[in-house]
Structure formats: structure tokens, C-alpha cells
Chain A
Amino acid sequence: MKLSRNFLKDYVDIKDINIYELADKMVKVGNEFETIRQLANSDSLVVGKVIECEKHSESDKLSVCKVDVKDEVLQIVCGAPNVREGLKVVVAKVGAVLPGNFEIKKASILNTESNGMICSLLELGIDKAFLSQEDIDGIHELNNEAKVGEDPNKYLMFDDYIIDFDLTANRGDLLSVIGMAYEVSAIYDKKVILPDISYKETKDDINEKFTLNVETKNCMAYLAKMVSNIEIKDSPQFIKSRLIASGIRPINNVVDISNYVMLETGQPLHFFDADKLNKDLLITMGDDFKKIKTLDTVERDVNKEDILVTDTKNPIALAGVMGSYDTEVTSNTKNILIESAQFNKTNVRLTSKRVLRSEASSRFEKGIDPNMTLFALKRACHLLEKYAKGKVNKGILMHDELNKDDKVIEVKLSEIQNTLGMEIMSKEVVSILNRLGFIVKNKGHFEVHVPSRRGDIEIKEDIIEEVGRINGYEKLIGNLPNLETKRGGYSKKSKLLKDTEDLLSSFGLDQAINYTLVKDLDDFSFDLDKIIISNPMSEDKKVCRQNLTSSLFENYKYNSSRGAKNINLFEVGDVYFKNNGYDSKILASGLMSGTYLLNEFQGKVVDVDFYLVKGIVTEFLDSFGLENRYEFIEEDVPGAYHPYRSVRINVNKNHVGYLGQVHPSLSKNEVYIFEIDLSKLMELKVRGVKYKEISKFPTTTKDLAFIMPKDIKSSEIERHIRKVCSRYLKDLYVFDVYDFNDGNKSLAFSLTFEDKTQTLSDDFVNDLLNKIIKNVEEKTSAKLRDK
């Protein structure tokens, strides 16, 4: 809402109030603004009269003018096509600074001296959007009554400030200058002066020409009056400049008056050409009519939720949004029917959402003061009589079911004090509410009578807020609430997420956070029933993700293309799917590539490979207390994984994730990814850490190597080793793998034995080794390699 200072000062006395201070106070009571600016801002402008105008001897387009500016006669070279003798014009004298820091200097144009500039309104800083074509094409032609020598900005009433407010959605009442005046009057404790709504009526009665029938409850009020014999012309300057200041382009006096009254009162009006209407007006829902050609010449479908103004035969307006083309006021219009009505907010909202959001529809959507509907109608009659020579017909078409009574809300002083948490006195409360125009009866509690214009005030908390904001929150002193003293805590999920993040980052992976919405599902996971956005912003963000690895792979490509070599990332977050409703699970995923611990000049380089990532996943699972409860299984993996370098991760035989290389068709560099379903881990229970006594006796380490066909898995040999010596086996690892390139390989194991009760004798250990060899050779085709 753009508020013009000149406009506002008609309704509340602000002549001694600085505009910036006013804006600041408005912010303090909750009305934020974006900008304050002057409508036009230039010094050394003066009204001049062109007393001589001749073509420049060297140019067809230029004229050499003698301009009387009262104190002197200036020679000015002017390029405008419409400059001519006798015209009153805006002159920027030498030394004037026009908007855009454009300083006027004495100049010589094609050897002719020029002492100033004759200005267009554009040059005064008025936006093109608010100007007529003539004003865009040439200099501004001032009315002949403008006095030579006076300040043209004053004459044009451009000496105005505009505060552009960014209002909250509940304050529909502030979408009018009168509403603003009430707010300002509450801040400064001043009176609001309402405008003149008087007019004379002719003997002609509207009721002899029209009938009104309202069929729908969604039209709560429909008031209409007729004004005859209007004269269509330019608006008076004060209307034009106030419309421009308010962001509306002036058209002609009749259209402008409709807009002016809307700005003034907040009540949108619609003017029909009365001669183009059939006599029986009918307000109805969009059921019986299919189409309407609106005044923007678009043929539109009518929807069921549209409220229609019709003349029974044809729809003449989409109520609250736009009138019909056929009944529009044109330059030939003589008689007009003024509509001032109230429609259901929701219907107007739905229609305007589909058709057009306008100044009018946005006011309907937020609700209009029921007491303004008749007032605005009368105000329009007053202005049409005064500025369009209109004759106001007797009588009114009226359907009115609005409740215009004050709302009565009861609130106790203690409720105000306890909710605000401040010791405000009864007297202060009453004074604040009175300033807002609320009548207060003190009956032990307050009985507050809220005027109809404040549709946003419905319950006692609203009254409390009014008291709080007008009193000023800077007076509120902060205290901590008196609640039980305790420390709060994380939920199980937050705790797990936090630990996972810490753990994965401790392995050297950087945490990534990616978008939930993705292009579509991909090969990084097996599809579950997907959740699709019905109104996506773009094709690449329309489905809820079902894995994190594909986004991490995108991050890899992004970083890689910018020259990064060692890219190690993880993400912990939700993925989404349908499952008897809408469901999600928490995944922890990682991506690793390049080298890990690195010192090139010493040759200490650890390439990221399957086993490194397996190590990280293992350490991850161990850290959560899942030692010995997981397996890596060569079973189905999603298509984005390398089929022979990837595994499923099972915990307690349940599938919880994947680990492997990204399929070489997606990346020529080796990139490894893993995914672990934390939701599944969360269901598991683990034993608390119980101290195991450390053996006092020394350990013995022995090596064993077996030769076997290549396809035998290390894990199989390991299983058969453990089987016979688990009681004494403290540690086992593979320290060598050798491929004979004849279909056989050798696996060398290092075994560490220990007993908690004694030092193991050589004989005992040798015996154990023999048992192991025997078991492995019996159960598999592996043979002991020479010792």
C-alpha cells in the first residue's frame, strides 16, 4: 500500500509531523514499510510561458523558444514536438538538478544558446507507467491557470512523499487512506476527519429503471446508484497526482473517481455504462452462465465458484474482479450505474487467483468495512457531481445483509497484564483503546466496542495485542518463565543423526546437504512407491528423493569438474515414499574417491578402493556396537553400482544398505558409495559395553597360507579357521593375497592366540594349527601352502 502524505493529510492533521518520524512510528505499531520517497524532487523548477517559438535554423526537430519565467525571459532550445507559442510549461533553470542527478547547465546547441530545459513529466521523475502517451512523447502541457513563476511541482501537487507499506495480511482496514488515518490518529491521539459525501438528487429514480435480485448468499451487500449526464474529461490535478502517488495510472475523471474512492475508503466500486444494461440486475453464482468477455477483451470461462453480476440476460461482471467488456464505461458514456458491494472473500479469492489479482480484488479478499459500502457509494456520487457534472438520481438499489454493529469483546485487566507480562494500568488500557476508536465500558472487566472497520479484531487476544503494540513493546521487560528446572535433551532420532554425522566426518568425509526434490527416481536405489509434487516449480525438482547417493554423485561431478581430486562426502537425511500413507526413512550415505591419507613426496598414498570404504562401513557399524552382527553379501544391488564390486550390507540377516563402486558407465574414475538405513539400525538393541578382563599372559602369533581356486572367498576360509579355534583366537587378518595366474591363488592369514588363564605352550599352539589346517582342507578345496 502506497500512502501519499498529501492524501493522508485530508483526513488527519499531520502538517507538523515529519514523514520519516511518522513512518518510524508506524513500524513500531506493526506496519512495516519498504521505502519512503518523494514523488518528484527537483529544485529550481519554475512555471514558464512560451512567448516565442521558432524552428531552429539548422534542425527541423529543434525549436528555439523564448520562455517567460516571471523574473526573466530565457532562450531555450527544445526538441519536443509539442512545444508551441502560448504554452505554459515546466522549466528547469540553469543549476536545477533533475532526478538521476541530471544537472541543467548553460549550453550551446547547434550554435544557439540554451539557458535551461523545458521538461516532460518523465524528466520530473514520474514513472512512465502512470503517464499518458502525450506525456511520454513530449513536454508536459500545463493548464493555462498555472501561474508563471510558481513551483510547478506544487502546482502539479507532486510535492508529495510516498511511504510504501508492506502490510500484514490481517490489516485489510489499512488498504485505505481513511484506515491509515485512523491508525495515525491512534498513534498521535488525533481526530479523523471524514470526507464530504453530500450531493443533490434529481427527480429521476433508479428504481424506475432497474430492479435488483440477489440470489446468492455470497453477495452480502449490493448497493447501486445512478448518475446521469456525466461529462468525461481529465481529472482535476489533485486526483491525478494522488492516483500516481498511490501507484494507479490516471485515465479520465470517471474512472479516476472510482479508483480514488477505493483508495480513500477501501471499498472498491464498479461503474457500468447504464445504457448498456438490461433492467433486471441479478447477482448469482456462475452456474447458469458459461462465458464472459471481460473488459481486457478476453473471453473467459465462468466457473461455479465465481460470483456473477448479471443483467439476467448476460453476465456483466465477475464480481469483485473484473467487469464485462460490453458494459464498460467509455468516452461516449453518458449515464453510469455505480456498484458498491460486498462479496464472499473466498469466492473473490478463487476467481481472482484464476483471472487477475487487482487492487480491488485484494481488498475484497481481506474484507471491507461494512459501514463503508454506502459511504463509498455516496462519496462517489459527491465526486461525480463535482468533477464530472453528473446528476445523481434519486433512490438506491439495495440488498444489504451486513452486520454493521460494533463487535463487543470482554477482557479483564488481569488477562491483559498476564498475557503481556507487564503491569499496565487500567487507565492506560482505556486510553489506548479510545485512541484506536474503540469504546470501552469498565464493568470490573472491560467491555470493548470495536468499530466495524477493524474486521481483524475478533477475540480478547486481539484486544491484548492492540494494547501491547500501541503501548509499545520497547516498554516490555524480558523475564525467564518460571518453569521446572531441568535440562532438555535430544530425541533418539536426533541423537543417532548427530552421532552418525560426527562419526562419518571423523573418517574424513565432508557433510553435504542436498535438496529433497529431485528430477525423478534413478538407478541408485530400487524404486519404492514415489511421492510426486503436483505443482512443481520445474521438471528437475518434482519427485521426493529415495536415496542420497545420486545427489552425492552429482556433488562429486560438480566438484570434479572444478578440479577437485579427492572428494569424500556424506549426507544423513530422510528419503520419502508411499507406504499405506506417506512415509520416510533416514539414510546415511557416503561417497569416496581419489586418495585418502596423502603425502606424495614420501610415497605415502592410500587410494580409495572397495576395501577402504568397506573398512569405514565396518568401523561405522562397530562403533554402534554391532560387531559380528553384519555381513557383506554379493546379492542384487541397484543398477548404479558396479555389479562385481558391490555388496549388500546385512545386519542380523536383514538388509540395511549397499556398498560398492559406482558403475563404470557413470564414471570412468573409481568412485565408491555406500548407503545405510539408519531407521533399521534404530530398531536394533545392542548390549551395553561390558569390560572384558585383559589377559595377563602373552599372545602368540602364527602365519598360515593356503592355496585354493580363485573363486573361493576369503570369508569362507576364515569361517573354517574360526570354527575350531575361536576360544583362543584373539585376532585374524589376511596379510597377503597372491594370484598364481593359473586359476589359483594363495591367501596368507596371520593368527594371534591368547588364553586368559595360562601362557600357551608351543605344543598347544601347533596342535591348534594342525586342527585348523585339517578343518580347512576337509571343508574346502584349499590346501596348505608350504610352511
Chain B
Amino acid sequence: MNEKVKDIKNKFESDLKNVKNTKELNELRVEYLGKKGYIQKLNPLIKDLSNEEKKEFGKSLNDIKNFISKELEELKMKLDKKELEEKLVSEKIDTSLPATKFSKGSIHPLTKVRREIEEIFISMGYDVVEGPEVEFDLYNFEKLNLPKNHPARDMQDTFYVNDEVLLRTHTSPVQVRTLEKSEGDIRIICPGKTYRRDSDDPTHSHQFTQVEGLVVSKDVSLSHLKGTLEEFAKKMFGDSVKVRFRPNYFPFTEPSIEVDISCFKCKGEGCSFCSKTGFIEILGAGMVHPNVLKMSGYDPEVYRGFAFGMGIERVAMIRHEINDIRDFYTNDIRFLNQFNRKGGLEDEA
């Protein structure tokens, strides 16, 4: 009897060697282990055996079954693996073919810089406030201590609609409007479009964007202005940036200040970017002129204020090394698409 088992084993071993794929393997399984398989066929023979022989034969039958199962299983794993590999190979694609083009739109660089400035000041407790762009002379000039025919009006060539109405030359009229309707402390920034009667060239634009800030309280000083702008400059341009004050003149502030930041390219050592000065002029500022407070109903003996204003184009030009201010208004998509990057990762130094 054991001879038969041995024959089956021998035959199986030689058959197994010829199996090439899982289909043949399954056929082999049926051939040996199936209901009509070789093993099953040996089962009826058992009844003619002695008890002793039955036991022995049963064991060898069981052994051969286990052996075949195990061998089939092992081969199946090998074949599965091989076939998967073949399938994967057959699925190989040319990953170098072009990507599907997603059109993620871009936010204009002026908007991005404006928002960044807004966020910094919002975190410092400032509210964002707007005002009209077609403005009264009264708010744009007179209530800012610039009466008609004041020579300093020459500093801001103006588009007029008529004698009393104009396109605002700065966002400062929003300060006046805010002062007029407020009582007590004020902390605002006013971003927006402004207009000057300048010819457009690489550094001038008849339309540009300003952000102006105003703080009014009983105890604010030039030192607070400096501290505030230092905080802003650090968040906007990096921790190592230094702020420099130079005296200047604006009719609506007294004292008036021109504010420079140390060049973040050369760390203040002087490079072509900052015209070898180590500093970049960034904004105008000062303590609100008492006449401005008075004209809008604040008592300058009780309240003091500081104000500052900067051009967003200038900040964006410095930040992105843009040489021509007109690029912001041409809306060439090759320009716009260079700015659709998310924040998140830090810029390299």
C-alpha cells in the first residue's frame, strides 16, 4: 500500500515541477486532492486492511495529503507573487507624460501683501476700516491741516472732479472720518486704493495702494510708534530687521518721521538693493497734528495719536524684487501666476 502512496508522491513531485501558473496549480490540486483525486481514490482500499495496517496507512495517507497541500500552498504563494509582479509590470505607465493641468487661481501680489499687513495689525488689536475713494477735499486735505493753497499740497498732485471733490491722494481721509465718529481710544488700519496725478513710469503710478494706521489714546508717544513699527517690521521682514527714524515733514503729523528698515538682503551692510545705504525707506509716520485731532472733535490736551502710512506696491516690490510698478496693473497672467504660492513653508534666507 505504501508503495502506492509513494508512487503518488513521486508523480506529484514530478507534476509539480511542470506547473507554470495558478491555473495549472488549481488543476493539479483537483487532480490530487479533489473528490475524484488520487488521494481520494486510495480511500476505499483502507477497508481491506488489518487494524494495524489501517492505522499505518491512515497516517501515511494523512502525511501525503499534508505534504501535497503544503507544497501546493508554497508554490501558490510563489506563483501569486510572480503573477502580481507580471501584472504590475504590464501596468507600467510613462510617468514622464505631462500632468493634468489644474487651474489653481492666484491671488494678486498686492492683495497678498495687503492681507499680510492687515493680519499683523489685526493681531495687534487694530480694526480694518475703509472709506470712499472719491472723496471730499475737506477730508482729503482741509481736515488734515492742509488748507486750500497750502504749499504742501504740491507734494500730492491731485485728480479733481470739481473744486470740492477729488480722488483721494492717500488713505488718511479715513482717519478723519474715523475720528469724527469715534470717542475714546482708536486703533485702526485703513488699506485702499489712492491716486496721484503722476505720469506712470517704473517707479510712479497714478493709482497705488496704501495702508495707513492710526492709534489715538491718552498716553501714546513717539516711542510707542517706534515700538509698533519695530514689531510690524519684524513680523513682515524678519526678526533681525531694525527700524530707523528720520525727521521729516507732513502737514498732518507733528513731529513727523520718515521710517527706514535695515536692508534685509545685506543685513544693513550696504548692497545694490539698498543703494549701499544699508537701509530701505518704507513709510511715513508721526504724532497726529493737534489741529487734526481738534478739527475732528478730539481734545489734543487730553488725547494724543500716532499715525503711519506705507505703499503696498513698494513693500511688494521690495519683497519680490519687482522693478516696474506698472507690472502690478498690466495683469499679464505670466506675472500673476508667479505669486500663487501658499505660505506655510519658510522662505530661505
Contact yes or no, B224 A536, CB < 8 A: no
B125, CB-defined interface residue at 8 Å: yes
A169-B154, A481-B224 known; A514 vs B329 contact (CB < 8 Å):
yes
The number of chain B residues with a CB under 8 A from chain A is 91
Chain A interface size, under 10 / 10 to 19 / 20 to 34 / 35 or more: 35 or more
Complex contacts, B33 vs chain A, CB 8 Å: none
Q: How far is the CA of A598 from the CA of B102 in the complex (A)?
A: 7
Complex contacts, A599 vs chain B, CB 8 Å: 98-101
Q: How far is the CA of A513 from the CA of B106 in the complex (A)?
A: 12
CB contacts under 8 Å to B, within A479-506, are: 479-491, 493-494, 498, 501-502, 504-506
B331, CB-defined interface residue at 8 Å: yes
Q: Find the A residue at minimum CB distance from B134.
A: A582
Q: Find the B residue at minimum CB distance from A422.
A: B223
B128, CB-defined interface residue at 8 Å: yes
CB contacts under 8 Å to A, within B102-134, are: 102-108, 110-111, 115, 118, 121-130, 132-134
Contact yes or no, A510 B151, CB < 8 A: no
Identify the stretch in B48-56, B57-65, B80-88, B213-221 within 8 Å (CB) of chain A at 4 or more residues: B213-221
Q: How far is the CA of A28 from the CA of B246 in the complex (A)?
A: 6
B143, CB-defined interface residue at 8 Å: no
A476, CB-defined interface residue at 8 Å: yes
A19, CB-defined interface residue at 8 Å: no
Q: How far is the CA of A366 from the CA of B330 in the complex (A)?
A: 40
Contact for A512 among B99, B193, B331, CB less than 8 A: B331
Contact yes or no, A491 B128, CB < 8 A: yes
CB distance from B111 to the nearest CB of A (A): 6
Q: Find the B residue at minimum CB distance from A481.
A: B224
Contact yes or no, A465 B336, CB < 8 A: no
Contact yes or no, A465 B254, CB < 8 A: yes
Complex contacts, B255 vs chain A, CB 8 Å: 419-420, 461, 464-465, 468-469
CB distance from B308 to the nearest CB of A (A): 13
Contact yes or no, A535 B121, CB < 8 A: no
Q: Find the A residue at minimum CB distance from B249.
A: A168
Identify the stretch in B21-29, B159-167, B261-269 within 8 Å (CB) of chain A at 4 or more residues: B159-167
A195, CB-defined interface residue at 8 Å: no
A418-B221, A420-B222, A537-B197 known; A490 vs B122 contact (CB < 8 Å):
yes
Contact yes or no, A511 B215, CB < 8 A: no
Q: Find the A residue at minimum CB distance from B328.
A: A513
A480-B227, A486-B125, A516-B195 known; A558 vs B331 contact (CB < 8 Å):
yes
Contact yes or no, B223 A478, CB < 8 A: yes
Q: Find the B residue at minimum CB distance from A350.
A: B149
Q: How far is the CA of A566 from the CA of B108 in the complex (A)?
A: 18
Q: How far is the CA of A28 from the CA of B223 in the complex (A)?
A: 17
A735, CB-defined interface residue at 8 Å: no
Complex contacts, B337 vs chain A, CB 8 Å: 510
Contact yes or no, B105 A508, CB < 8 A: yes
Interface string of B148-191 (1 = CB under 8 A from A): 01011011000111100101000000000000000001010101
Contact yes or no, A562 B332, CB < 8 A: yes
Q: How far is the CA of A493 from the CA of B187 in the complex (A)?
A: 18
Contact yes or no, B246 A473, CB < 8 A: yes
Identify the stretch in A271-279, A567-575, A689-697, A771-779 within 8 Å (CB) of chain B at 4 or more residues: A567-575
Of the listed residues B118, B121, B151, B191, the one surrounded by the most CB atoms of chain A closer than 10 A to its CB is B151
Q: How far is the CA of A474 from the CA of B260 in the complex (A)?
A: 12
Contact yes or no, A569 B227, CB < 8 A: no
Complex contacts, A168 vs chain B, CB 8 Å: 248-249
Q: Find the B residue at minimum CB distance from A365.
A: B151
Contact for A345 among B122, B151, B160, B330, CB less than 8 A: B151
Complex contacts, B130 vs chain A, CB 8 Å: 491, 493-494
Complex contacts, B223 vs chain A, CB 8 Å: 420-422, 476-479
Q: How far is the CA of A598 from the CA of B104 in the complex (A)?
A: 12
Identify the stretch in B39-47, B67-75, B228-236 within 8 Å (CB) of chain A at 4 or more residues: B228-236
Contact for B331 among A479, A517, A569, CB less than 8 A: A569
Contact yes or no, A487 B123, CB < 8 A: yes
B296, CB-defined interface residue at 8 Å: no
Complex contacts, B229 vs chain A, CB 8 Å: 478
Identify the stretch in A200-208, A526-534, A736-744, A759-767 within 8 Å (CB) of chain B at 4 or more residues: A526-534
A541, CB-defined interface residue at 8 Å: yes
Contact yes or no, A489 B199, CB < 8 A: no
Complex contacts, B126 vs chain A, CB 8 Å: 488
CB contacts under 8 Å to B, within A543-582, are: 544, 555, 558-559, 562, 564, 566-570, 573-574, 576, 582
Contact for A484 among B125, B151, B162, B334, CB less than 8 A: B125
Contact yes or no, A559 B133, CB < 8 A: no
Contact for A483 among B128, B152, B206, B217, CB less than 8 A: B217
CB distance from B171 to the nearest CB of A (A): 13
Q: How far is the CA of A222 from the CA of B293 in the complex (A)?
A: 38
Q: How far is the CA of A570 from the CA of B227 in the complex (A)?
A: 38
Contact yes or no, B115 A498, CB < 8 A: yes
Complex contacts, A198 vs chain B, CB 8 Å: none
Contact yes or no, B219 A418, CB < 8 A: yes
Contact yes or no, B167 A533, CB < 8 A: yes
Contact yes or no, B102 A461, CB < 8 A: no
B257, CB-defined interface residue at 8 Å: yes
Q: How far is the CA of A504 from the CA of B231 in the complex (A)?
A: 33
Complex contacts, A533 vs chain B, CB 8 Å: 159-161, 167
CB distance from B64 to the nearest CB of A (A): 52
A17, CB-defined interface residue at 8 Å: no
A597, CB-defined interface residue at 8 Å: yes
Contact for A582 among B97, B165, B243, CB less than 8 A: B165
Contact yes or no, A461 B287, CB < 8 A: yes
Contact yes or no, A596 B103, CB < 8 A: yes
Contact for A511 among B106, B245, B254, B304, CB less than 8 A: B106
Q: How far is the CA of A419 from the CA of B287 in the complex (A)?
A: 8
Contact yes or no, A478 B197, CB < 8 A: no
Q: Find the B residue at minimum CB distance from A505.
A: B105
A487-B122, A599-B98, A602-B100 known; A479 vs B332 contact (CB < 8 Å):
no
CB distance from A495 to the nearest CB of B (A): 9
A611, CB-defined interface residue at 8 Å: no
Q: How far is the CA of A537 from the CA of B206 in the complex (A)?
A: 9
A345-B151, A476-B222, A478-B229 known; A513 vs B110 contact (CB < 8 Å):
yes
Q: How far is the CA of A169 from the CA of B249 in the complex (A)?
A: 7
Q: Find the A residue at minimum CB distance from B112.
A: A511
Contact yes or no, A480 B228, CB < 8 A: yes
Complex contacts, B193 vs chain A, CB 8 Å: 516, 573-574
Contact yes or no, A30 B100, CB < 8 A: no
Complex contacts, A569 vs chain B, CB 8 Å: 331, 333
A9, CB-defined interface residue at 8 Å: no
CB distance from A742 to the nearest CB of B (A): 40
Interface string of B317-349 (1 = CB under 8 A from A): 000000000001111111011001000000000
Q: How far is the CA of A143 from the CA of B185 in the complex (A)?
A: 71
CB contacts under 8 Å to A, within B234-291, are: 243-249, 251, 254-258, 287, 289-290
Q: Which 7 A-B pairs have the closest CB atoms?
A: A421-B223, A421-B221, A30-B247, A508-B103, A168-B249, A505-B105, A465-B255
Chain B residues packing against A (C-beta within 8 Å): 97-108, 110-111, 115, 118, 121-130, 132-134, 149, 151-152, 154-155, 159-162, 165, 167, 185, 187, 189, 191, 193, 195, 197, 199, 206-207, 215, 217, 219-224, 226-231, 243-249, 251, 254-258, 287, 289-290, 304, 328-334, 336-337, 340
6 intermolecular pairs with C-beta atoms under 8 Å apart: A32-B246, A480-B231, A509-B105, A510-B337, A533-B161, A568-B103
Q: A474-B244, A531-B134, A544-B167 are in contact. List 8 more A-B contacts (CB 8 A).
A: A419-B287, A420-B222, A465-B247, A480-B124, A488-B121, A488-B125, A512-B331, A516-B193
